Amino acid sequence: MVHWSAEEKQLIATVWGKVNVEECGAEALARLLIVYPWTQRFFASFGNLSSPTAIVGNPKVRAHGKKVLTSFGEAVKNLDNIKSTYAKLSELHCEKLHVDPENFRLLGDILIIVLASHFGRDFTPACQFAWQKLVGVVAHALARKYH
């Protein structure tokens, strides 16, 4: 089980409380597809991903980004139980979606940059540490049921 200090929990909750899940989710997924274009391989059904502008404006990208970050919120709500929170999703990503877990790490890193751009100096080094730890734990949990 992951240990979270009181300070880490506080930093995570404070940031999450101010996050616009729809906007940040859409932005994070769009940036993932733009910065690491090979990740587009999972989204052939999303239509026009032919340019950064197309990706940012793509309604399926926006919707899926919102869905992904909303799910992330489950980790924030269940910091002491992230492994079981994501057990089913982990199976899904392995068996149905066939997503290389490296992609979870890439998305996590992108999310950190999106948060940094929204929160500016409020995204202190301590904040970055707590959030980088969280995205790592989420990535690990999502990879856990792979076989």
Binding site for another protein (CB under 8 A): 30-31, 34-35, 52, 55-56, 109, 112-114, 116-121, 123, 125-126, 128-129, 132
Q: What's CA 16's distance to the chain center, in Å?
A: 12
Q: How far is the CB of 8 from another protein (least distance, A)?
A: 12
Q: How far is the CB of 49 from another protein (least distance, A)?
A: 12
Nearer to another protein, 85 or 131 (CB): 131
CA distance 86 to 98: 16
Q: How far is the CB of 145 from another protein (least distance, A)?
A: 25
Q: How far is the CB of 62 from another protein (least distance, A)?
A: 13
CB-neighbour burial class of residue 1 (10 A; exposed 0-12, middle 13-18, buried 19+): exposed
Nearer to another protein, 81 or 132 (CB): 132
- Quickly list DSSP for 42-78: G-GGG---SSHHHHHH-HHHHHHHHHHHHHHHHHHHT
Nearer to another protein, 12 or 114 (CB): 114
Is 100 in contact with 36 (CB distance < 8 Å)? Answer: no
Nearer to another protein, 118 or 145 (CB): 118
Amino acid at 46: F
